[in-house]
Structures are given as C-alpha cells and as structure tokens.
Structure 1
C-alpha cells in the first residue's frame, strides 16, 4: 500500500524544453558542450559551487555576456499549467499521502521559476509538500542512489510504501533498485494529473 509519494518537478509539474539551453547556446555560436562544462553544471546543480562561480566559468569558457548566458540557461523552462497546481493542492488537502518534491535544480532556475510563477503561485505549490527537496540545497542529485537514501532516511519512509514519479528513466531505475515503487511518466503522452488512473496501487 502506497503511503508516500515523491514527485519530480521538471516535466512533471513545470513543462520543459529539454533542448532549450542547447538551442539557445547554439544560436549564440556555442555548438559544443565539453565534459568539463557538464562537470561544472553537475557541481552547480549539487550546490557545490556558487552562481557567480558557475557564470564566471561559462563566461571564460564560451565568451558570452552574462545576460546571454543566464537567458540561455533558463531557456529550458516553460510554463506551469494551473491544472497541475490544482491537482497537487487537492491531493495535499486529502491527507491520504505524505507528499515530497525531489528535483535536480539550481539557484538560477529556481529564481526564474519564482519570478515567472509569482510568489503566491509558487508558495501554494511549495506548501503542498511536507518536504521540498532541491538538489542544490541538499548537495545530492538524481540518479545517484544517495539522494533517494537521504529522503528515505530523513523522513523514515518505507521504500515499498513509497511511489516516485519522474520523467527520466535513469532516475526511476535508480530509485527502483532501492525498492521504491516508480512511475516513469512520459511527458509527451502522460500527465501527473492522471496519477490515479495510471497507478492502480494508489
């Protein structure tokens, strides 16, 4: 029996253009993403380097203006349909499950999201969850097993009683290895609001 649900954020609640940053960078003349650029991105997503250090690295690496870099970085982020906010608020109000958010995100992205959605919308969303875990704040990132172990241990969750919803198979595969129940949601054909029609154990 599922008692706990852990949700991802991107392409579960907020829509993403996963190629948006690459396309924006390419439009600015940056067409190659090197291994060290990926490494720095992962360090930033874990909160192991500051926003200033992250931007400084990319400024020196690709020789773009700060504003252009930030805009390209945030090009991955799209809209947040209100039906999904209504869904999670209603689910929280039912008190049937303990609800958690677990997202790979970073300081620049979360600030853009807060500004884009507005304080009231963002706080309504955040307050629907018992815990709101962002990778740059807890210093772990998916799909590393440590991030799931952290959430389970911090909240004394039984993995067999826990459902994890994420759009990336590498993330749900990693969680499933720890005994967590998973829904690898396909954002092209599925919506989180269909949670109860897709998961008959709920």
Structure 2
C-alpha cells in the first residue's frame, strides 16, 4: 500500500469547535422561521464560494428581515463558532516541525467567519503558517463535497490520492473524497480528536 505523505484537514469541528445545532436554533428563532428557506440556503452557498460579497450577503438578509440590523445578522451568523483548543495548535505545530508530511487545510468557509476567527483566536496566523497550503472555499470559489474541489487540490499539489489522508467531520465530504481514491477519516467531533489521528488511523501509518 502506498505510504501516506499528505494530510488534508477540514477546519470546523476538526480544529475549531462549532455549535451547528445551536447556531441553527438561534438563527431560526431570530428570523421567526421553522426552517431556512431556499433563497437563504442559496445565498449562504453563494457567499461560501465567494460568488457574492459580504456587503451583498448582509444586504440580502437585511432586505428579507428589515426588522433586524446588521449587527444582529452578523452575530447570528458567527454564533456557530466556539473555542479553538490549544492542544490542537500544538498538535499541528509538532506535525509541521516533524517535516514528515505535506499539510493542507481545506475548509468550506466565508469572509465573515474568517474575520471573526482572526479577531477572536489570537494564534490564528500561527496556526495558518503550519500548513503548506491553506484553501478556503470563498477564496478558491469551490466547495465540498463537489468533486471539483478535491480534483483542484490534487492537481495543484501534484498529489497521488492513495498517498493522502483527508479528515473531515461531514460524511458527504469524506464520501466524495473516498470515491476519488483518497483515504479518509470521517471524524466524530463529539467523541474523537484530530490530535489522535495516528492512533485512530494507525493502519495507514
């Protein structure tokens, strides 16, 4: 079996903790809805791939919910982001220092979330420097689980998928990566920690 030489990591619920259900409940309560409407879902995806700007994103929500001000919308949008345990920073720093693997971050995210993280995680830039390449969906205009984002990463970095391990908390994302030949770890963020990758996936190393 080819040896793993590249580790590709998701960001949310792999390194930084998220509260997806809490954020959803909070937003639905704020908007007075039972579920997100189609135009909201499409706008969120457009924002995640950088097809619309932050101003356009906020303008959409302010037009749809004129009773809300911009600060309320931004707060609700960023509600999902929780803490970044420092031991995970140490883990990736040690991995970088070892020089054994190419390290890539591949995250579905957006400008507001990244700005919030920059403002609230003092070691964000330190974390970012640990990676050989740092791909954010709104910057590369591609998103998981679409096949094109994985092909882009593989082609850009001249990777053999059989030599890559992709770690993500969303099953749709790891399923697509597997179909393209990558090894995967669909991490359960409620029970598992990325720092234990060499124990959990010991069969690959």
Alpha-carbon RMSD across the aligned residues, in angstroms, is 0.9
Residue number in structure 1 paired with 2:168: 166
Instruction: Give, in whole Å, the separation in 1 of the partners of 2:130 and 2:31.
Output: 41
CA contact (8 A) 1:144 1:174 kept: yes
- Shift in Å, 1:33: 1.1
Instruction: Give, in whole Å, the separation in 1 of the partners of 2:97 and 2:32.
Output: 46
Instruction: Find 1:57's aligned residue among 60, 68, 87.
Output: 60
How many residue pairs get aligned? The number is: 200
Q: Indicate yes or no: 2:41 matched with 1:38.
A: yes
Structure 2 length normalisation: TM-score?
0.95
Map 1:1-202; keep pairs closer than 5 Å. Answer: 1-31=3-33, 32-63=35-66, 64-118=68-122, 121-200=123-202, 201-202=204-205
Instruction: Give, in whole Å, the separation in 1 of the partners of 2:85 and 2:129.
Output: 17
| 1:94-118 deviation digits (Å, cap 9, x = unpaired) | 0110000000000000000000012
Instruction: Give, in whole Å, the separation in 2 of the partners of 1:115 and 1:161.
Output: 35
Structure 1 length normalisation: TM-score?
0.97
More off after superposition, 17-26 vs 85-94: 17-26
| 1:153-200 deviation digits (Å, cap 9, x = unpaired) | 000000000000000000000111100110000001000010100112
| 1:111-169 deviation digits (Å, cap 9, x = unpaired) | 00000012xx1111000000000000000000000000000000000000000000000
- Shift in Å, 1:36: 1.0
More off after superposition, 45-54 vs 12-21: 12-21
Instruction: Give, in whole Å, the separation in 2 of the partners of 1:170 and 1:152.
Output: 18
Gaps of 5+ in 2: none
